[in-house]
Chains A and B, each alone.
Chain A
Amino acid sequence: MNVTDFVVDNGTDFWISPRVYTDQELYRREMEQVFRTSWVYVAHESELTKPGDYLTTHVGEEPVIVSRDDTGKINVLVNACRHRAAVVCREERGNSKAFRCPYHGWAYRNNGDLIGVAQRVGAYLDGALRNVDGLLRAAKVESYRGLIFCTFDPQAPTLIEHLGTVRRYVDLWADMSPEPEGRLLPPHRFEYGGNWKMQAENGADGYHPAVLHQSAFETLDHFGVRSRALSNEMLKVGKVRGFKEGHAILEGGPVARLNPKLLASYQRALRERHDEERVQQILLRRHIFIFPNVYLMDGNIRTILPRSVDRTEVRSYFMELRGVDPAINEERLSDLQRRLGTTGFIGPDDLETFAAVQTGSRSRSLRWMVMSRGLGREEDLGDGELMALPSDETPQRAIYREWARRVLAYPSDRSL
């Protein structure tokens, strides 16, 4: 496998092979070289408030338990029994001091430590179980502004290094909640018949809404809801950003489509804690992609869970702001749900497009997808941050350069 089979990045053009959506070997490498060695978002601290709280999820295809142990520490434990691999926890959420394997009864504390092996006495030679001290775990777990990430690579840089300069935008995002931190509610969950990278590309794609979401804009405009105007405004004042770590941002337009009275009340709450310039920055709407699997959006956290090379789950968690009039959260929730919920006016159109891309990617004739838009009009802000117009494909290039570095040993100095 050669990087030149999948990526063309020659200064004039940026092309990606559609086989990145269909190739089993690439997918296998992604599970190793992206989802094990990168920092990967796993949960939000507000989902695990009390000691013993846990949830089960996946890091790539690795089944994990994210648990808050009795000392309050967050653990990312491999959900596979050290005996013969059964998952030790099948519930998706709960509170427990221990996880007892249903198969032969090996039991583990909520920090992963082995409590005991059933009928151990006399059954094993001396030293036979000396390496079995508990559930396996992520090499590192770190939180930033309530966002919990882990990596299985002991050599990985710190989370702060992985975030790089996107961190200041993560701060702006987290500061949307006047009282830190926001609280996540149970997610809208979708599945689509396409590769996981399509969702990664799409959330920071400012080129498609005017076309793909015309239907939603026409509908809302017909009923007097200012939606196209908002979208046009975003295209006028908006920006996209790409970062050398593979992160990306689509930004522009007002953060919350609140009615004027609620907006004024929200601004007052923010002004009590921040100066005016920062308030204006916080109020800019952003979709922040943190490589490889999470979007921080104006109303929600959107996570991407690869299920196979051509099947993906997406979860959209509404983030409730704290320290605001409850009516503000109600209006934000209703807006988010109407746009991006399971039965929203916008979200299903995106997911259906991914199915269309997956079908088209089976073409043997189509060698390359064109992601060259805006090359030549990007502004280099230093520290590996590029900025361009909202319809430019700077975010997608940032994502695929980092992807290619990890999966195909793409040289770093070609990056920016």
Chain B
Amino acid sequence: MTHPTETLTHSVEQFLYREARLLDERALEEWLTLFTPDGIYFMPMFGSSDPVREPSVLFDTAGTRAQRVYQLLHTPHYAQIPASRTLHQVTNIEVWQNADETVAAYAVTVVHEVRPGDPGQVSIGQVRTIEGRARYDLVRASDSWLIAKKTVELLTHDLPVRNLSFIF
């Protein structure tokens, strides 16, 4: 792995910011297009977990990712009524270029989340902060990037969490 040029770093950063914005705007169908066809979204319960044999916080292939987005956008998903309002903050970005032109990017992601409504109701109107360390394995796609694998280890990966029914 080598240090990338400034232009490369810049373009990866812009890509990650764009992903964050799509999630915040709930443009989830567009978000799906950021992945390669066999792209994986993995949130391990422990860093070294085997997603096939051990439990994970989330393990989505293209198929389950599309189901998740469909449930969020097109069905009465009670845990998302009202829907979470989010701010995905991406920081500490570090980009490494592999010999084969693919890129590994590390980032710290902090999501500020609130479900709008009457704060007198339990679980409504309280801003929560959920944070994790992300690793993106990216491949070139014409003028931008595609996600081959997004791995997020939550700070609370093995601890109890409340409602995680929005996309981190």
Tell me the A residues contacting B by CB distance below 8 Å: 185-194, 212, 214-216, 218-220, 222-223, 310, 313-315, 318, 326, 329-330, 333-334, 337-338, 341-343, 345, 348-349, 351-353, 355-356, 358-359
CA distance A334 to B58 in the complex (A): 10
Question: Judging by beta carbons under 8 Å apart, are B120 and A190 in contact?
Answer: no
Other-chain contact of B160, A194, A216, A313, A330 (Cβ < 8 Å): A313
Question: Judging by beta carbons under 8 Å apart, are A326 and B163 in contact?
Answer: no
CA distance A337 to B67 in the complex (A): 14
Question: Judging by beta carbons under 8 Å apart, are B165 and A348 in contact?
Answer: yes
With A186-B46, A326-B53, A329-B53 in contact, do A191 and B161 touch (Cβ < 8 Å)?
yes
With A186-B46, A337-B56, A359-B121 in contact, do A215 and B78 touch (Cβ < 8 Å)?
yes
Could you give 9 example pairs across A and B, Cβ below 8 Å?
Answer: A187-B55, A190-B162, A215-B71, A219-B70, A314-B160, A337-B56, A341-B56, A349-B165, A359-B122
Question: Judging by beta carbons under 8 Å apart, are A191 and B162 in contact?
Answer: yes
**What's the minimum C-beta distance from B70 to chain A, rounded to whole angstroms?**
5
Interface assignment of B64: CB less than 8 Å from any CB of chain A: yes
CA distance A341 to B59 in the complex (A): 10
CA distance A187 to B158 in the complex (A): 8
Other-chain contact of A330, B53, B68, B162, B164 (Cβ < 8 Å): B53
CA distance A185 to B70 in the complex (A): 30
Question: Judging by beta carbons under 8 Å apart, are A223 and B66 in contact?
Answer: yes
Interface assignment of B8: CB less than 8 Å from any CB of chain A: no
> Could you tell me which residues of chain B, from 46 to 64, have a CB within 8 Å of some CB in chain A?
46, 52-59, 63-64
Question: Judging by beta carbons under 8 Å apart, are A351 and B67 in contact?
Answer: no
- Interface SS of chain B: helix, strand, loop or mixed? loop
CA distance A29 to B58 in the complex (A): 38
CA distance A337 to B56 in the complex (A): 8
Q: Which residues of B are found within 8 Å of A191, using beta-carbon distances? A: 160-162
> Could you tell me which residues of chain B, from 15 to 49, have a CB within 8 Å of some CB in chain A?
43, 45-46
Question: Judging by beta carbons under 8 Å apart, are B46 and A356 in contact?
Answer: no
Interface assignment of B79: CB less than 8 Å from any CB of chain A: yes
Interface-centre pick from A212, A220, A348, A359 (highest chain B CB count, 10 A): A348
Q: Which of chain B's residues has its CB closest to A358's CB?
A: B122
Question: Judging by beta carbons under 8 Å apart, are B122 and A356 in contact?
Answer: yes
Question: Judging by beta carbons under 8 Å apart, are A342 and B121 in contact?
Answer: no
Question: Judging by beta carbons under 8 Å apart, are B55 and A188 in contact?
Answer: yes
Other-chain contact of A186, B45, B68, B74, B75 (Cβ < 8 Å): B45
With A349-B77, A352-B78 in contact, do A193 and B59 touch (Cβ < 8 Å)?
no
CA distance A175 to B49 in the complex (A): 28
Other-chain contact of B164, A215, A318, A326, A343 (Cβ < 8 Å): A343
CA distance A329 to B63 in the complex (A): 20
CA distance A190 to B70 in the complex (A): 23
CA distance A180 to B76 in the complex (A): 41
Q: Which residues of B are found within 8 Å of A334, using beta-carbon distances? A: 52, 59
Question: Judging by beta carbons under 8 Å apart, are A355 and B122 in contact?
Answer: yes
Question: Judging by beta carbons under 8 Å apart, are B78 and A189 in contact?
Answer: no
Q: Which of chain B's residues has its CB closest to A316's CB?
A: B55
Question: Judging by beta carbons under 8 Å apart, are A219 and B67 in contact?
Answer: yes
Question: Judging by beta carbons under 8 Å apart, are A352 and B66 in contact?
Answer: no
> In the complex, given contacts A192-B162, A314-B160, what are 9 additional A-B residue pairs having Cβ atoms less than 8 angstroms apart?
A186-B45, A186-B46, A186-B55, A191-B160, A223-B70, A333-B52, A341-B55, A341-B57, A356-B122
Q: Which residues of B are found within 8 Å of A359, using beta-carbon distances? A: 120-122
**What's the minimum C-beta distance from A327 to chain B, rounded to whole angstroms?**
10
Question: Judging by beta carbons under 8 Å apart, are A214 and B76 in contact?
Answer: yes
Q: Which residues of B are found within 8 Å of A348, using beta-carbon distances? A: 79, 163-165
Interface-centre pick from A187, A329, A355 (highest chain B CB count, 10 A): A355
**What's the minimum C-beta distance from B52 to chain A, rounded to whole angstroms?**
5
Question: Judging by beta carbons under 8 Å apart, are B54 and A185 in contact?
Answer: yes
**What's the minimum C-beta distance from A231 to chain B, rounded to whole angstroms?**
15
Interface assignment of B141: CB less than 8 Å from any CB of chain A: no
CA distance A192 to B79 in the complex (A): 12
